[in-house]
Structure 1
Amino acid sequence: MRSVKEISDLTGISVRTLHYYDEIGLLKPTEKSGAGYRLYDDKALETLQQILFFREFDIPLKEIKAVMDNPVLKRNQILQMQRNMLIAKKERMERLISSIDDILKGENKMDFAVFSKTEMEEMFQTMFEHMPANMRNLAVKEFGSIEEWKKHYMEALSSEEMQKGYAKVVEWYGGKENFLSAANNPVSKEVAESYNKRVEVVLQKLSAKKECDTASFEVKEVVGEYGFVMKQLSQIKSEKGLMLAQAQYYRNEKIKPIIDEKYGEGASEFFVKAIEAFYENK
């Protein structure tokens, strides 16, 4: 067992901060001595390390607590999440350094391309092969032929706007290779249907919490489960970007009435607030 002073000396975290973490329930001491002093074991020290990883990204303490307390997320899942966040941060830093090097060399070309022509062709082929037959036939009818459809797809995907959009999606997957692997190896129809049923159950649970504060544990627990299911379905490294995009989907004026009709008046706005409260840095 280590005293709060020893933990402070070991980690560089002030005694006052450790006391505050105890007060808000983020890091409770393992036990207290007969004299009432806080004592911490190795497991508590590991928990503190996980908290400090999240703080490295300026994530609010209440959101860290929601993640740490979420029974859906196990120890290794939290560590993997933090590892992916650190890798993404490292890759962003490397891209920035590379851009600065290019500018110093006078080679700043502002190239927004994410995928090569070959990669885009493979993406089209995978989409074509896995698309339901009725949708595929409608697309072919609209464009006149598969070749014209492919040409349109390639031109649209090659645009700067689309490449920028895909750059964000690639980041969710933890890199282009991971994205292409998921895109070229989609889950089966049966698996997708199974996940969609799980999503429906989660949304029903979330809609039942409409009268609760979005900052409450019971709401965050359901949102955490929602994010976990979406992460598994989409085969992404971190679901934060996807979930925030999903919140924007619920905010869409054409979608709101559909969601409200299915899950009850005000459900769409509640879903937005609940997801943003869980994932957005404030």
Structure 2
Amino acid sequence: MKTVKEVSELTGISVRTLHYYDEIGLFSPTDKSESGYRLYDDKALELLQQILFFREFDIPLKEIKAVMESPTLDRNRILRMQREMLVSKKERMERLIASMDDILKGDNRMDFTVFTKTEIEKMFQLMFDSMPKEMRQTAIGEFGSVERWKKHYIEVVSSDDVQKRYAKVIEWYGGKDAYFSTLENPISKEVAESYKKREDAIRQKLIGRRGCDLNSFEVKGIIGEYGFVMKQICQMKEEKGLMLAVAQSYRNMQCQQAIDEQYGEGAAEFFAQAIEAFYNE
């Protein structure tokens, strides 16, 4: 058993901080001496080490406590999670060092990469695991193997152009953690179908207001509902960027033809203008 002072000297954490961790229920002593002093065993020190790993990434104590107390997470899963975070941080540090070396050499090439290779591999795996079996087999057939498919995916997502696009997506979600959380916890097929029907109903209402002023209450009310639905479908923190991207997609020739065929000629352009009027004011 170690006293709070000994733990403080061992870890570099102040006694005051250890007392605070105890007060909020994040890290409590194993026992107390007859004099009331806090005592910690090796298992407690192992727990403290895991907390310090999370603190390395400036994760709020409230969130660390929630993770540590989650009944679905065992010790090994927490360690794997922390290892992924450390590897990602290591890769970011290596990129920064490489960029600094380039600047010192006179090559001021800035690197604004959004995702590290480890994170891109994780994105591929999440996509692969959630993909319908038939679609997965089709993709494997096209590339010849999962490894070739994965290599192509990593090359595409690592490109500067795609990384810039993802920078906007991450902004819509409110951060990479929120984005990965959405990938790891997708909405069910039934819920997705329900939202799809609601989206169609919104478009039907919107095309019914085609003769109205884009800034009218009727049109704005429908676009507001549309934005809310899209926010729920994509589980985003902020939908403005997404909706403006949707408006732009309506001007894509293939999408425009499909929308006009379903809702009438000129519908796609009307939808795009209505969304832009709402979000650009």
Q: TM-score range by the shorter chain?
A: 0.5 to 0.7
Matched with 2:269 is: 269
SS in 1 for 2:199: helix
2:81 is aligned to: none
Partner of 1:114: 114
- Render the CA deviation track for 1:68-116: whole Å, top value 9, x for unaligned: xxxxxxxxxxxxxxxxxxxxxxxxxxxxxxx9xx99xx67651121112
User: Per-residue displacement from partner, 1:35-89 (whole Å, max 9, x unpaired)?
Assistant: xxxxxxxxxxxxxxxxxxxxxxxxxxxxxxxxxxxxxxxxxxxxxxxxxxxxxxx
Q: Flag the structure with more relative contact order, 1 or 2, with Cα contacts below 8 A and sequence separation at least 6.
A: 1
Q: Does 1:226 align with 2:240?
A: no
What is the CA–CA distance in structure 2 between the aligned matches of 1:257 and 1:166, rounded to whole Å?
27
Q: Tell me the residue number matched to 1:260.
A: 260
Displaced runs of 4 or more, over 4 A = 106-109
Per-residue CA deviations over 1:116-142 (Å, capped at 9, x if unaligned) read: 222111111111111122211111010
Task: Indicate conservation of the 8 Å contact 1:122/1:184, yes or no.
Answer: no
Q: 1:80-91 counterparts in 2 under 5 A? A: none
Q: What are the superposed Cα offsets for residues 169-223 of structure 1, whole Å, 9 maximum, x if unpaired? A: 1000111111111122211111111111111111111111111111111000000
Kindly state the Cα deviation for residue 264 of structure 1 after the two structures are TM-superposed: 1.5
Q: Which amino acid aligns with 2:183?
A: A
**Number of residue equivalences:** 179
| Aligned counterparts of 2:113 and 2:248: Cα–Cα separation in 1 | 25
Q: Output the CA distance in 1 between the equivalents of 2:120 and 2:255.
A: 30
Partner of 1:235: 235
CA offset digits 1:197-254 (Å, max 9, x no partner): 1111111111111111111110000000000000011011110111011011111122
* 2:181 is equivalent to residue 181 of structure 1: yes
Deviation sequence 1:132-178 (CA, Å, 0-9, x none) = 22211111010000110001001111111111110011000111111
Q: Which residue of 1 aligns with 2:136?
A: 136
Matched residues in 1 for 2:150 and 2:251: separation? 32
Identity %: 60
Maintained 8 Å contact 1:123/1:184: no
Max Rg structure? 2
Could you say which residue in structure 2 is the equivalent of 1:246? 246
- Give the alignment's Cα RMSD to 1 decimal: 1.8
1:185-196 equivalences under 5 Å are: 185-196=185-196
Provide the C-alpha distance between the structure 2 equivalents of 1:192 and 1:148, rounded to a whole number of angstroms: 30
The within-5 A match list for 1:58-207 is 109-207=109-207
Check the 8 A contact 1:247/1:271 in 2, yes or no: yes
Give unpaired runs (5+ residues) of structure 1.
Answer: 1-98
